[in-house]
């Protein structure tokens, strides 16, 4: 572990440093609370052993600052005090300390506290990994392994806010597998799932790393194209449709005899700085226009096409 020792008394610092290193841990030392806070921000140690009374930031304020700055990682805080009153102990715990020791510092006592600290921080580290994995799972479609609507909502909000702030463009497209209900009826749902997986892989493999690909629901997929102009987005979708046709997935219920998709595009561009909700609606309407025009094609929202032409 990495351990930060903060104490304005040189002798106490040396004793604590020796005890930490003899316990097999890396030690960083600070002579006051202010420098301890800077070292904490720089190194993010797993354990902080801090004196109660120090120049600058005292031990209680240091504990509070560390607790406020924590995210998923957990820092085990040990308060060192020459005072052994109940009030000091309670104040330390209320400030965020996990444990306390009294001066003069006993190396054996500190060693035992570090054993406990290692167990606690290891547990919190495991919990953080589990939380991260669960958060990722909650944002991933289990069938296609693409991101789902929850992740889309988060990413679209961030992209729209960033684009509005810096006046940058982005495009949004909704894709739909043509006549997918009849595909399931003819070939079965297991084959339908395999077809969706193939379409998802094709969409994900044909763009830039910055593009976002999401399963929008059922046989629908949504593409977020940051920094993309309308002409580039149209080219991207035409290529996607071609790559899906090239899969040659048989579909006797489709006029072409193979599985195809259609798409509708809208764009956040100069002259059309509208809300993300409106862009979604426009892309959806363009998708329906593509369906009504025979499917297996890309349609651009008329509101956007009009802006580009004007």
Catalytic residues: 219
Q: Which of 183, 166, 150 is nearest to 252 (CA)?
A: 183
| Residue 291, φ and ψ in degrees, nearest 5 | -65, -45
Query: CB under 8 Å to 230, separation ≥6 — which residues?
Result: 171, 265, 267, 269, 300, 304, 305, 308
- Contact at 8 Å (CB) between 45 and 2? yes
The CA distance from 19 to 114, in Å, is 10
Using a CB cutoff of 8 Å and minimum separation of 24, what contacts does 188-194 make? 193/143
The Cα 173–Cα 206 span in angstroms is: 14
Phi, psi of 84, deg, nearest 5:
-120, 35
- Cα(91)–Cα(77) distance, rounded to whole angstroms? 13
Residue 266 β-bridge partners = 172
- Residue 265 Rama label (left phi>0; alpha psi -120 to 50; beta): beta
Angstrom distances, CA of residue 248 to CA of 46, 190, 199, 220, 251: 55, 18, 11, 19, 9
Q: Please tell me the distance from the alpha carbon of residue 56 to that of residue 62, in angstroms, as a whole number.
A: 10
Gap between the Cα atoms of 246 and 248, Å rounded: 5
Q: Is 133 exposed, middle or buried (CB count within 10 Å of its CB: 0-12, 13-18, 19+)?
A: exposed
């Amino acid at each position: 572990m990495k351990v930060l020792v903060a104490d304005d008394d040189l002798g106490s610092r040396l004793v604590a440093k020796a005890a930490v290193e003899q316990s097999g841990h890396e030690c960083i030392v600070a002579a006051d609370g202010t420098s301890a806070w800077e070292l904490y921000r720089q190194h993010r140690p797993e354990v902080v052993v801090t004196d109660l009374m120090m120049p600058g930031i005292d031990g209680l304020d240091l504990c509070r600052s560390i607790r406020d700055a924590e995210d998923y990682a957990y820092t085990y805080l040990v308060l060192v005090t020459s005072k052994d009153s109940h009030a000091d102990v309670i104040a330390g715990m209320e400030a965020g300390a996990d444990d306390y020791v009294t001066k003069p510092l006993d190396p054996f006592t500190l060693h035992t506290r570090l054993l406990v600290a290692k167990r606690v921080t290891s547990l919190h580290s495991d919990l953080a990994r589990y939380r991260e994995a669960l958060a990722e799972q909650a944002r991933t479609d289990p069938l296609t392994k693409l991101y789902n609507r929850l992740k889309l909502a988060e990413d679209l909000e961030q992209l729209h806010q960033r684009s509005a702030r810096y006046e940058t463009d982005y495009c949004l497209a909704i894709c739909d597998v043509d006549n997918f209900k009849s595909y399931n009826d003819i070939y079965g749902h297991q084959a339908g799932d395999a077809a969706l997986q193939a379409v998802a892989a094709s969409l994900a493999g044909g763009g830039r790393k910055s593009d976002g690909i999401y399963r929008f629901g059922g046989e629908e997929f949504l593409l977020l194209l940051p920094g993309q102009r309308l002409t580039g987005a149209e080219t991207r979708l035409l290529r996607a449709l071609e790559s899906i046709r090239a899969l040659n997935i048989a579909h006797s219920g489709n006029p072409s005899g193979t599985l195809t998709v259609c798409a509708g595009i809208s764009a956040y561009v100069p002259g059309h700085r509208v809300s993300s909700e409106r862009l979604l609606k426009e892309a959806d309407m363009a998708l329906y226009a593509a369906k009504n025009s025979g499917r297996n094609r890309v349609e651009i929202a008329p509101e956007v096409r009009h802006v580009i032409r004007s």
